[in-house]
């Protein structure tokens, strides 16, 4: 799955806090996976895109660790100059297995 960004799906609001954007992106990912019969525990590869990789990295890591647990998937964090909208500071992409 790709393109999970941090916005409130109920209101369409985009928070300015990077950690809140990360939380909302993981909540969106969780919802999509559950609707597909899977879960965050089935993620095998995680790629995250950050407009301030070093500045927001520690806070993002704390949020990520609340959603992604051992055994950890392969994870690559990528610094980018911009995302789809200027308000977005993080985007999350994952590959997961679905249940049979």
Beta-carbon count within 10 A of 15 CB? 16
Exposure string of 46-82, with b = 16+ CB inside 10 Å and e = fewer, is: bbbbbbeeeebbeebeebbeebbeeeebeeebeeeee
Per-residue pLDDT tens digits of the chain, which is 100 residues long: 888 999 999 999 999 999 999 999 999 999 999 999 999 999 999 999 999 999 999 999 999 999 999 999 999 999 999 999 999 999 999 999 986 5
CATH number for the domain that contains residue 59: 3.30.1330.40
Domain assignment of residue 73, given as a range: 4-96
Q: How many domains does the chain have?
A: 1
Which residue(s) pair with 46 in the sheet?
A: 75, 94
Q: Is there a contact between 50 and 57 (Cβ–Cβ < 8 Å)?
A: yes
Distance CA 12, CA 39 (A): 24
Q: What is the pTM of this model?
A: 0.94
């Amino acid at each position: 799955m790709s393109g999970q960004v941090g916005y409130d799906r109920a209101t369409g609001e985009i928070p300015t806090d990077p950690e809140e954007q990360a939380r909302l992106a993981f909540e969106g990912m969780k919802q999509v996976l559950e609707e597909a019969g899977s879960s965050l525990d089935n993620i095998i590869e995680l790629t995250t895109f950050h407009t301030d990789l070093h500045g927001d990295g520690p806070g993002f890591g704390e949020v990520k660790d609340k959603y992604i647990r051992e055994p950890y998937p392969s994870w690559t964090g990528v610094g980018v100059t911009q995302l789809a909208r200027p308000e977005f500071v993080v985007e999350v992409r994952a590959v997961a297995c679905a249940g049979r």
